[in-house]
Structure 1
Amino acid sequence: MNNSVYKLSLTDTAAPEIRPGKLGEFGGSNPSGDAYGFTNFYMTRNGQPFIPVVGEFHFSRFSYLHWEEELLKMKAGGVHIVATYVFWNFHEEEEGIFEWGGDRNLRHFIDLCAKLDLPLILRIGPFCHGEVRNGGIPDWVFSKPIEIRSNDPGYLALANKLYREIAKQMKGSLYQDGGPVIAVQLENEFMHCGAPNDAWGYKAGKFMTSGTGGNDHLMELQRIAIEAGIKPLFFTATAWGGAAVPEQGTLPMLAGYAYTPWIPNQPPSREFVFRDLHHTPAEPVNYDTREYPVAYCEMAGGMQVSYNARPYVPADSVEAMTLVKLASGSNLLGYYMYHGGSNPVGKKTYLNEQFLPKITYDYQSPLGEFGRVGESYDRIRTLSMFLEAFGDVLAPMPTTIPEGQSDIPSEDTSTLRWCVRQKDGSGFVFVNNFQDHIEMPDRRFRIELETSQGNVSLPSTGEITIKGGIGVVLPFNLDLGGIQLVSATAQLLTKLESDGEQTFVFYAHEGMTPELVFRKSSLSSIDPGAGTVEDIGPNSIVRPAAGRRHVVRARTSDGHEVRILVLTREEALQSYKVSLWNKQTLVISDSHLFVHNNRLVCTSSNSEVTVSLLQTGTMDLRSNKGTLARKQDGVFETFKISIPAFEPSLSVSKPSGRSALLKIDKEWPAEVNDVWLHIDYEGDVAEAYLGTRLLTDHIYYGHPWQIGLKQFRNDLDKGDVHLAITPVRKGTVTTFVNQAQVERFEGVEIAEFRSIRAIPEYQVSLFPQRI
């Protein structure tokens, strides 16, 4: 056999037993009749299989003035459910004094999630971790003669008080009462790990207890929560590392991290190797995995840089981990973090965990500190769009692992990594060519499947190439609006229906020639447009032209028309599926988009924005700023919005190589949403001050520092922004004690600003003009 040809028989693959499982009796509906529920294999939404995307966003780590915009960006990015921590020490830093205002206003955040139709999971502690001081336990708790994270009556009394305060903020917000809160997590990583005890103070490296009491303690916390009025549709528990998991009413959640500060000199991880997680979890767990859906609440959306470990998390890894977990059977995908932020400053101290930045919790996440949009935001949005359109098809499909795949060494760069999810001969092939800490080569391959619906080859003849660092999802034997798709070497992105016409959207990965194979018996005609079509046996093979200007038009055997678009990879990364102006549409733009008040909001660092909309019809659109030009662009209409370019006023003086003083004008035109400082420097740690206020900080890890200024804008005329670098030392440090500790250093100290720029971020809106 050619070593680039991979074969798998699926004809004897048993369908999974879909049954209620341990969560079958949990779930419920809201007053509008919308409902969530469970089987042992997947979550349901209004009775249909559902694979939700969950995005972690800590409200208290972001300015409340901008929560709504950031939540809208999350929703546009494909997030179905928001998760957030309620950090005890952020709200009761001083005993008996609870703070729920400003950036700590949990109720306002809940209400915004309700307004934007974003279900919410609250993670309410008492212990949270989340890289905050003492894992969220206030310092004053350690002065009590109690055992934390246990059934000690004194500790439970404090938990009861905390939960009752949270319940006041939550009143009326449970899903069954018409609110957004569908689930609550009690505790975190219980019986698995603790956090640094920063209240100890005498020595670094002291850790809090991982907890005692097992499931009994979690059930006691659940009893206290329910008595306080916190009774969601279901509870959740972080279940990795042998953590405790109550058997009833709790969804166990898993984690996957590849760039980890807690593993020195980390070798390539096993997070990018396929396995069947429903039957064989990635690590030992304290529950029967066959009774619950596989659910991830902490897939790495990035990683926070710490002083002692400074990993860089590439966007490729976030996309690849999503693909691998999905292929391995996960039917809930949760990103930690999806949206980073900034720690608040406490009354008595900073509230960060030791060795981490005092303020920044950017996390290199898809959306970062100050609302930074990262490259991974576009990558995982394509997969979220796929799940929104085809998740009900994928969710009941079990994972089939080809022989030897689960045992592939992480360091192996020569074996193709692939698996299948399928049911009744219909499904998806997953191929991953990414591995952390290793560069993967381009690979040629051909996959041949024996299915109950006939044999399938990807591609139909010859081989295709997958580039190093990417993954791909290839469908086979799917029904596309009455047309039978036998196979495709392009990835499904989404589907739309408007005025009775269905459109299916694929995209072609670089180096992977797109091919669509259809069963001829399901077609009455097919027009490949700028592509070609060839009939071979029972199939019609279409080799479409990729790009939004091209369309394949097919007519089913009973006369319905189906449109097929095959975008380029670049176009797919610029695509959004939105509900706008009473219809669903696909939008491709070189800006970032979200929908607000029936307007399409476009945000970009360029003063010219291009937006291409599918199916606008005769609608007359206008922009709220700038000039607007439109043209027909195949089946799209393309709008070009031109805004007067703005050059922010920035003057920089450098009292020393370690300091820079910035004068920044706070007068910005209306079309400028923010001004970003892009700071390219080399050093150890950098801090930004406005007067005596520490705005944010940055531990150097080889990539530029970005600071959004809009939340500080009104204070920019009060003084200079001071950037200070602590130098990195390259040399030898000798320490000894001579009455006091003495340090001798021989070498060079590096602290250098390479460039400091102010870059405007423009924001304009498109909306219909009624004539």
Structure 2
Amino acid sequence: MNDTIAGSQIRFILDAEDKEIRAGRMTGSGGKSPRGESYDFTNYYMTRNAKPHIPVVGEFHFSRFAYLQWEEELLKMKAGGVSIVASYVFWNFHEEQEGEFNWSGNLNLRHFVDLCGKHELPLIVRIGPFCHGEVRNGGMPDWLFSYPFEVRSNDEGYLYYAKRLYREIARQLNGCFYQEGGPVIGVQLENEYMHAGAPMDAWGYTREKYITSGRDGREHLKMLRHIAEEVGMKPMFYTATAWGNAAVPEEGTLPMLAGYAYTPWIPNQPPSREYLFRDLHMNPVEEVDYDSLEYPAAYCELAGGMQVSYHARPVVDADSVEAMTIVKLANGSNLVGYYMYHGGTNPIGKNSYLNEQALPKMTYDYQSPLGEFGRVGESYDRIRTLSMFLEAYGELLAPMGCVVPDGQHAITPENTMDMRWSVRQQDGSGFLFMNNYQDHVAMPDRDIQLELHTSKGTALYPREGTMQLKTGMAAILPFHMNLNGMKIISATVQPLTRFMVNQELTAVFYAHDGMMPEYVIDASSVTNVDMLEGTVSEQGNEVVIHPIAGKDHHLRITTSDGIMIRIITLTREEALHAYRFRVGGEDRLVISSSHLYVQNEMLLCTSVEQPEMEVSFYPAPEHVSASKYAVSSQSKQGIFGTYTLQVSPYEPAVEVDYPKEYAATLRLDTAWPEQVDDVWIEIDYEGDVAAAHIHHQMLTDHIHYGHSWMLGLKQSRHLLAEHALRLSITPIRKGTTESYVNQAYVERFEGVEIGKFNEIRVRLQYRVGLILAGVREDT
């Protein structure tokens, strides 16, 4: 293989051999459910029902969220493309007082597991004893450190308490493993063992006191596994966090990796290497304690955001999350997992707050796709587009090997000049990956043409002229893709999803800003192109199609075998509003200005501050019934049936007072009408940190990091009926501080203290339910 670059033109000869797919160390570590569904592994990817599978894992800590909303949040995760849920079991949350276990309310592990099972969401349980998760003592209770043994070791005293913990967890998981018909497919023992500890907050005197990272290597993990199985926890497989040369058992344990670019633990962090192309299966990013060629490259902790701390307050944008995912897929990761996918709030302990020092006492929003109170973030839509792609094309992508052009290995994170791109391929077919995002560096727009020579012929992007890869953008483009007999030589549009409608394949792509949509198709594979708008031309042995992007347009192709294929080319904005659901008895593409999820066969549409919502369906349903409080109207947009939903705007009675400097109180009418799903308080303030209280308890807190503070009140509505929401700011100081000791510590500050509420806004979240029936005959 080789590549040459002249100006904006790249020419590459793809002559790599196909990836060797064989049995690996994880092969045989799967199993079957009573329904006959199965998981297993090769050396390169996971299989589901004996087919290659690239799952999307979303981390959601049940104990950090209100249990009455667990089901709704799990359904939002499922709608967002999560196919496996992961969750920690924090020991100190459940046994803060020695011998007193609590599995009730927000700590009800069994209820959470049952909800995952109800909604067919497989689950990986991360059971510790050490978890970290930015929890006090890494999740270990304070009382544990009063005993004369070494934690995280094979010390018999420590193992006694580890076994007691595991026995309690096993009771909660009884009958819940996949082979028994439950959702639990895997268990993680320990976390970052032999790699990292956590602040020992039980010590209480200095920030520099850390819990040991461990000393017994694989033998300790082997012992923990023996204990887990002895008390009844027998999952199909175990997982281990494997970065930083952490210990990984050789058999039955899937090593999992992490990718973070905005890292508070690295002072003055330089641009990271997370957005560069490399073959992770052949050459992991860092040293690991296992033979990478024997296991799939799997990520359990791609940064879905980052938690701010008092000393480091990074902002993680949606571009970074999308770009990192695309780069890791290009690099051979065949499992992508997000930490966090869903944020939350630490419970308040009986003796102390349960946060790790220097972090907020309660909030663990993490800037994640779904936030502390269920806030839907911009990265939620980005991840969903990639999850839809993996659901539709993961079976095709998973066996494809990485081909990284030689010049890519020399690119450094600071390099803004060279184009970053890579390929995954099998037998001359595959996907082109491009990235123009780098943390802490501004990347320029790029006008490029890429010429890819494979055993199946030449693919040009675009066929004539150039296309633009805009700053912050990453993309996945197909080459030599056989789509039900239609041979796509190249396309400047990104695959989104595909599904069958009335025995006809519908393939959905979307056009990136700066890239004119183009399909170049092998002329011998098609006999007719039916398209009302756009251009079609036959040039030699190629049919070149330039469609109009947008859901109002589509085209139909007849293959040489007489098969009809419908192609929809969405705009980028439409793709970010798109979902794939089976609803109303059919697989459908749904595009909406609102956010969607399905519960009890009902499509639920939620929207913040917009009492009017638009929902478009393909195939269009024969009939749609909306919630009785909503007014709906119907229209036709191309092949989509579009429904406009209108609910009555609501303005709750709100009283905001400022009883003293740096403080505010808010009283709110809680008799919300049925169209109101939640009420959000958006607080624009200046200051250092802030806190919110209701009655005698703290609701949450906030470390200022440049973004507005968002509070969802649905969980606290019952308290707000009688009590005010109290907000307080600790001001930030700008000036100089002198300190000295005169019997006691004395601090004198010269300067200004800034603490100010700029604006407190009430934002209504509306909800409408839709019941769909049948498919309209004119679809």
Q: What range is the shorter-chain TM-score in?
A: over 0.9
Other-structure match for 1:492: 495
CA RMSD of aligned residues (A): 1.1
TM-aligned CA deviation for residue 202 of structure 1: 1.5
TM-aligned CA deviation for residue 623 of structure 1: 3.5
The CA distance in 2 between the partners of 1:716 and 1:549, in whole Å, is 46
Other-structure match for 1:629: 633
Between stretches 616-625 and 310-319, larger displacement belongs to 616-625
The AA in structure 2 aligned to 1:453 is K
Q: SS of 2:529's equivalent?
A: strand
- TM-score of the superposed pair, with normalisation by structure 1: 0.99
Whether the aligned pair in 2 keeps the contact of 1:602 and 1:765 (CA below 8 Å) is: yes
Q: SS of 1:656's equivalent?
A: coil
Other-structure match for 1:509: 512
Other-structure match for 1:708: 712
The CA distance in 1 between the partners of 2:574 and 2:753, in whole Å, is 45
Alignment partner of 1:744 is 2:748: yes
Aligned pairs for 1:278-427 (under 5 A) are 278-427=281-430
TM-aligned CA deviation for residue 717 of structure 1: 2.7
1:662-698 Cα offsets, whole Å, 9 max, x none, are: 1111110011110000001110000001122100000
Other-structure match for 1:183: 186
Other-structure match for 2:696: 692
Other-structure match for 1:535: 538
Is the alpha carbon distance of 1:291 and 1:624 closer, same or farther for their aligned partners in structure 2, counting shifts above 3 Å? farther
Other-structure match for 1:132: 135
Structure 2, gaps ≥5 residues long: none
Other-structure match for 1:14: 17
Q: SS of 1:99's equivalent?
A: coil
Aligned pairs for 1:18-167 (under 5 A) are 18-167=21-170
Other-structure match for 1:676: 680
Aligned pairs for 1:124-273 (under 5 A) are 124-273=127-276
Whether the aligned pair in 2 keeps the contact of 1:624 and 1:766 (CA below 8 Å) is: no
Other-structure match for 1:755: 759
Q: SS of 2:282's equivalent?
A: coil
1:193-229 Cα offsets, whole Å, 9 max, x none, are: 1000000011222111001100000000000001111
Other-structure match for 1:639: 643
The CA distance in 2 between the partners of 1:3 and 1:287, in whole Å, is 42
Whether the aligned pair in 1 keeps the contact of 2:433 and 2:475 (CA below 8 Å) is: yes
Structure 1, gaps ≥5 residues long: none
Other-structure match for 1:717: 721
The AA in structure 1 aligned to 2:217 is G
The CA distance in 2 between the partners of 1:7 and 1:283, in whole Å, is 30
1:497-524 Cα offsets, whole Å, 9 max, x none, are: 0211111000001111110001111101
1:555-587 Cα offsets, whole Å, 9 max, x none, are: 011211110011000000000000112210000
Other-structure match for 1:588: 591
The AA in structure 2 aligned to 1:415 is D
Whether the aligned pair in 1 keeps the contact of 2:385 and 2:496 (CA below 8 Å) is: yes
Aligned pairs for 1:543-692 (under 5 A) are 543-605=546-608, 606-692=610-696
The CA distance in 2 between the partners of 1:566 and 1:510, in whole Å, is 13
The AA in structure 1 aligned to 2:153 is S
The CA distance in 2 between the partners of 1:654 and 1:9, in whole Å, is 68
The CA distance in 1 between the partners of 2:482 and 2:769, in whole Å, is 37
The AA in structure 1 aligned to 2:495 is L
The AA in structure 1 aligned to 2:424 is R
Q: SS of 1:191's equivalent?
A: coil
Whether the aligned pair in 2 keeps the contact of 1:253 and 1:297 (CA below 8 Å) is: yes
TM-aligned CA deviation for residue 406 of structure 1: 2.5
Whether the aligned pair in 2 keeps the contact of 1:622 and 1:769 (CA below 8 Å) is: no
The AA in structure 2 aligned to 1:614 is Y
Query: Of residues 518, 521, 532 in structure 1, which corresponds to 2:521?
Result: 518
Whether the aligned pair in 2 keeps the contact of 1:648 and 1:759 (CA below 8 Å) is: no
TM-aligned CA deviation for residue 736 of structure 1: 1.1
Whether the aligned pair in 2 keeps the contact of 1:297 and 1:333 (CA below 8 Å) is: yes
The CA distance in 1 between the partners of 2:723 and 2:238, in whole Å, is 49
Aligned residues: 770
Whether the aligned pair in 1 keeps the contact of 2:203 and 2:209 (CA below 8 Å) is: yes
Q: SS of 1:618's equivalent?
A: strand
TM-aligned CA deviation for residue 661 of structure 1: 1.0
The CA distance in 2 between the partners of 1:725 and 1:225, in whole Å, is 46
Alignment partner of 1:442 is 2:442: no
TM-aligned CA deviation for residue 649 of structure 1: 1.9
TM-aligned CA deviation for residue 25 of structure 1: 1.6
Whether the aligned pair in 1 keeps the contact of 2:584 and 2:774 (CA below 8 Å) is: no
Q: SS of 1:364's equivalent?
A: coil
TM-aligned CA deviation for residue 147 of structure 1: 0.6
1:307-362 Cα offsets, whole Å, 9 max, x none, are: 00000000110001100101110000000000000000111111000001111000
Counting aligned pairs with the same residue, the percent is 59
The AA in structure 1 aligned to 2:371 is G
Whether the aligned pair in 2 keeps the contact of 1:623 and 1:641 (CA below 8 Å) is: no
Q: SS of 2:219's equivalent?
A: helix
Whether the aligned pair in 2 keeps the contact of 1:624 and 1:765 (CA below 8 Å) is: no
The CA distance in 2 between the partners of 1:55 and 1:259, in whole Å, is 19
Other-structure match for 1:478: 481
Q: SS of 1:229's equivalent?
A: coil
TM-aligned CA deviation for residue 17 of structure 1: 1.4
Is the alpha carbon distance of 1:378 and 1:620 closer, same or farther for their aligned partners in structure 2, counting shifts above 3 Å? closer
The CA distance in 1 between the partners of 2:409 and 2:759, in whole Å, is 47
Whether the aligned pair in 1 keeps the contact of 2:621 and 2:772 (CA below 8 Å) is: no
Q: SS of 1:164's equivalent?
A: helix
Whether the aligned pair in 1 keeps the contact of 2:526 and 2:557 (CA below 8 Å) is: yes
- TM-score of the superposed pair, with normalisation by structure 2: 0.98
The AA in structure 1 aligned to 2:736 is T
The CA distance in 2 between the partners of 1:761 and 1:77, in whole Å, is 19
Q: SS of 2:302's equivalent?
A: strand
The CA distance in 1 between the partners of 2:216 and 2:621, in whole Å, is 63
TM-aligned CA deviation for residue 112 of structure 1: 0.2
Q: SS of 2:25's equivalent?
A: helix
The CA distance in 1 between the partners of 2:772 and 2:287, in whole Å, is 55
The CA distance in 2 between the partners of 1:625 and 1:597, in whole Å, is 19
The CA distance in 2 between the partners of 1:648 and 1:412, in whole Å, is 52
The CA distance in 1 between the partners of 2:155 and 2:17, in whole Å, is 48
Is the alpha carbon distance of 1:584 and 1:401 closer, same or farther for their aligned partners in structure 2, counting shifts above 3 Å? same
The AA in structure 2 aligned to 1:187 is E
Q: SS of 1:22's equivalent?
A: coil
TM-aligned CA deviation for residue 624 of structure 1: 4.1
Between stretches 649-658 and 281-290, larger displacement belongs to 649-658
The CA distance in 2 between the partners of 1:215 and 1:112, in whole Å, is 34
Whether the aligned pair in 1 keeps the contact of 2:617 and 2:642 (CA below 8 Å) is: yes
The CA distance in 2 between the partners of 1:717 and 1:523, in whole Å, is 65
The AA in structure 1 aligned to 2:229 is I
Between stretches 476-485 and 585-594, larger displacement belongs to 476-485
Q: SS of 2:659's equivalent?
A: strand
